[in-house]
């Protein structure tokens, strides 16, 4: 019988990995939920002009609305919650104080194929025990979860139906700031609602901290219930999945954000073909430039991605990219910010070839880089560096899944005996197959949720750790 060791760690496990302004890992994950922003937008007076009125009158929104309305569905998720009454258990015995109740949440989804595949936000269906969708014609279907990507807040579900109306994908890389767009969804349970606006910005980082977010920002009105709905251009092509708003009240105050369609499309294709999301790595470490950083680094450019280090044996290293190079373009897409770079990489897979335009000593050069798979990840929350296991290693260990602890930086974990070579096999009752799985599971964790991690020690015994 394998020995089971359970340890509860009450202190926060942080500070294991510190990255400076110019030391950002390109593959750093983050999940965005629909929630209130941190800053309240200020109101200012504006001069009135009727120039916009003329432009709006010359734009036909009816074609896009007709193409989209019947393809956007109402998503209803049911979650079973279990609560315990300690007083009832005390007086009537263990097991008598447990009660279950159901909680229903709603959102939106977009039909992307005639045979019933539907894309929505991960946070719309997260932890759901039952998913139902309602079409614009009031028909209701039970839906099956195909897969999720918490990092990009995308989920794929399917209903058993045929000949459904669907939306075709557009190219989000080529939308322009100022372009008219429509947001279609079910805010506040008001089904089949269409709002219009323009693309306010691209490659938007919601937190403003150089994270990996690369959202389309619009001023089309989006409210709770719109999550997972469609953002379409005037031709009715899907260019984004409405995901978040920035607001102190929880309601729309002028800003909304959507996952670009190129990212959403790639995620869906991966989930359908592989069952998980294939994540590609360029193999560079660095950060975006601005005037202050450019001055400190003694470079003339104030836009682009400055390379401070190149990962050994990566595609970037093999192609000849070096420290101090500045990436300005990838496959014809301009790279001005960190979000531009990470947003582009999220549309690619390992072994894809990318044309990289960069500056070296002020001279423009270009190389073809073959992207690689992310095999190593530093998880700062846990204080661990993790490495993927190949089939030979798994067979030798007589296990089907897991990732190896290749380095440990947290002293508290060390004190409990965790060592290099330990294998993480499960997190919160879900099997771990890759370092990307670990990143996704941790990034999707809510603030009050514990992490239950199962590890295989060097003696082949299972150890359980609970992080609060």
Can 174 be counted among the known catalytic residues? no
Can 227 be counted among the known catalytic residues? yes
Which residues share a beta bridge with 455?
Answer: 424, 463
Choosing from 74, 108, 149, 153, which is the catalytic residue? 153
Which residues share a beta bridge with 216?
Answer: 258
Residue given tokens 């390109």 in the structure block? 26
Choosing from 123, 314, 436, 440, which is the catalytic residue? 123
Can 6 be counted among the known catalytic residues? no
Q: DSSP for 106-155, please give it.
A: EEEEEE-STT-EEEE-HHHHTT-SEEEEE-TTS-EEEEEEEEEETTTTEE
Angle at 381 between CA 376 and CA 383, to 5 degrees: 65
Taking the alpha carbons at both ends of the chain, their separation in whole angstroms is 28
Pairing of strands 462-467, 4-9: parallel
Residue given tokens 């120039």 in the structure block? 51
Among the listed residues 125, 126, 127, 114, the one whose alpha carbon sits nearest the alpha carbon of residue 159: 114
Contact by Cβ (8 Å): 383, 409: yes
Which residues share a beta bridge with 79?
Answer: 103
- Interatomic CA distance for residues 246 and 41, integer angstroms: 9
Choosing from 172, 200, 227, 434, which is the catalytic residue? 227
Three-state DSSP state, 339 = helix
Contact by Cβ (8 Å): 109, 140: no
Three-state DSSP state, 413 = helix
Q: Which residues are catalytic?
A: 123, 153, 227
């Amino acid at each position: 019988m394998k020995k089971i060791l359970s340890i509860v760690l009450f202190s926060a496990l942080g500070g294991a990995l510190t990255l400076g302004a110019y030391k950002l890992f390109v593959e750093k994950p983050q999940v965005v939920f629909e929630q209130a922003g941190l800053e309240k937008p200020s109101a200012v007076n504006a001069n009135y002009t009727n120039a916009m009125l003329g432009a709006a009158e010359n734009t036909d929104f009816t074609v896009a609305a007709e193409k989209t309305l019947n393809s956007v569905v109402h998503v209803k998720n049911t979650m079973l919650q279990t609560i315990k009454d300690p007083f009832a258990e005390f007086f009537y015995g263990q097991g008598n104080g447990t009660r279950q109740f159901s909680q229903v949440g709603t959102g939106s989804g977009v039909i992307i194929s005639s045979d019933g595949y539907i894309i929505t936000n991960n946070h719309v269906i997260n932890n759901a025990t039952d998913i139902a969708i309602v079409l614009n014609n009031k028909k209701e279907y039970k839906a099956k979860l195909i897969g999720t990507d918490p990092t990009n807040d995308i989920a794929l579900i399917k209903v058993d139906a045929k000949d459904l109306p669907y939306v075709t994908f557009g190219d989000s890389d080529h939308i322009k700031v100022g372009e008219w767009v429509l947001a279609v969804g079910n805010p506040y349970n008001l089904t089949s609602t269409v709002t219009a606006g323009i693309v306010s910005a691209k490659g938007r980082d919601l937190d403003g901290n150089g994270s990996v977010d690369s959202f389309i920002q619009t001023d089309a009105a989006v409210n709770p219930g719109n999550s997972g709905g469609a953002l379409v251009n005037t031709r009715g092509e899907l260019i984004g999945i409405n995901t978040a708003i920035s607001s102190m009240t929880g309601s729309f105050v002028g800003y909304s954000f959507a996952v670009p369609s190129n990212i959403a499309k790639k995620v869906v294709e991966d989930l359908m073909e592989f069952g998980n999301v294939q994540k590609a790595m360029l193999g560079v470490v660095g950060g975006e430039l601005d005037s202050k950083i450019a001055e400190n680094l003694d470079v003339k450019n104030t836009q682009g991605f400055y390379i401070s280090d190149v990962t050994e044996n990566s595609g970037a290293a093999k192609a000849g990219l070096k420290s101090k190079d500045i990436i300005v373009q990838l496959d014809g897409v301009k790279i001005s910010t960190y979000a531009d770079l990470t947003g582009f990489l999220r549309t690619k897979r390992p072994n894809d070839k990318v044309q990289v335009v960069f500056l070296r000593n002020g001279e423009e050069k270009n190389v073809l880089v073959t992207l690689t798979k992310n095999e190593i990840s530093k998880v700062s929350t846990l204080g661990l560096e993790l490495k993927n296991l190949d089939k030979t290693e798994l067979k030798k260990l007589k296990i089907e899944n897991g990732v190896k602890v290749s380095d440990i930086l947290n002293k508290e974990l060390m004190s409990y005996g965790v060592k290099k070579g330990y294998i993480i096999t499960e997190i919160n009752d879900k099997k771990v197959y890759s370092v990307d799985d670990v990143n996704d599971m941790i990034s999707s964790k809510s603030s009050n949720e514990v992490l239950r991690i199962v590890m295989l020690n060097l003696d082949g015994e299972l150890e359980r750790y609970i992080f609060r």
